[in-house]
């Protein structure tokens, strides 16, 4: 913490707490994990649709035979 920020904190009656690197990293990782879970939840329906579409395409390929190319 710089001297200027320390003086400003005292002037405004704030209590500044210095964070250790492991605390900052832990908080960042926790935040990233939460965001990651949210992204996975948002993408899950899209992935299910894509998987269903690919399964349908694969089924049609099997029905037509292995040498048929689908556009």
**Residue 31: predicted pLDDT:** 72
Read off the pTM: 0.23
- pLDDT per residue, tens digit, the chain (71 aa), is 455 556 665 665 555 556 565 666 666 667 766 666 666 556 555 555 555 666 666 666 665 555 555 55
- ∠ CA 22-28-29, nearest 5°, is 85
**Residue 25: predicted pLDDT:** 65
Q: Which two tokens stand for residue 41?
A: 């939840």
Q: What b-and-e string marks burial along 55-68, b requiring 16 or more CB atoms within 10 Å of the CB?
A: eeeeeeeeeeeeee
What sign for the dihedral angle of Cα 45, 51, 55, 61?
Answer: positive
H helices within the chain, ranges in order? 3-11, 21-64
């Amino acid at each position: 913490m710089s001297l200027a920020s320390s003086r400003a904190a005292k002037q405004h009656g704030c209590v500044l707490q210095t964070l250790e690197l492991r605390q900052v990293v832990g908080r960042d990782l926790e935040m990233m994990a939460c965001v990651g879970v949210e992204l996975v939840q948002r993408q899950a329906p899209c992935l299910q649709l894509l998987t269903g579409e690919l399964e349908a395409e694969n089924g049609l390929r099997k029905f037509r035979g292995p040498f048929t190319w689908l556009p």
